[in-house]
Amino acid sequence: MTPEFVVAFAQEAIKTTMIVAMPMLGLGLVVGLIVSIFQAVTQIQEMTLTFVPKILVVLLALLFFAHWMIENLMRFATTAIEQIPLYIR
């Protein structure tokens, strides 16, 4: 294994991780922003008010995007496993 191979493999792993996590993180960010604006407008400063909507949206996003996420992870894992003979050389 060359250093270039290790760097390329790590880059692909990080890219896959970011792509898989992005829908849940993005939706959580949007809902958090909306709740924060609502709290600022109404002057309700309840700490737990931000957690419940974000948790629900992240869980819904996980259910909605689960198939796509598993496909991406399986594609990465399959490619990594298929290339094991190349790694040994």
pLDDT confidence of residue 62: 95
Q: Is the pLDDT of residue 4 over 80?
A: yes
Write b or e for each residue in 59-69: b if 16 or more Cβ atoms lie within 10 A of its Cβ, otherwise e.
eebeeebeeeb
Q: Encode pLDDT of 19-75 as tens digits.
A: 999 999 999 999 999 999 998 898 888 878 888 999 999 999 999 999 999 999 999
Contact predicate 50/32, CB 8 Å: yes
3 state SS of 47:
coil
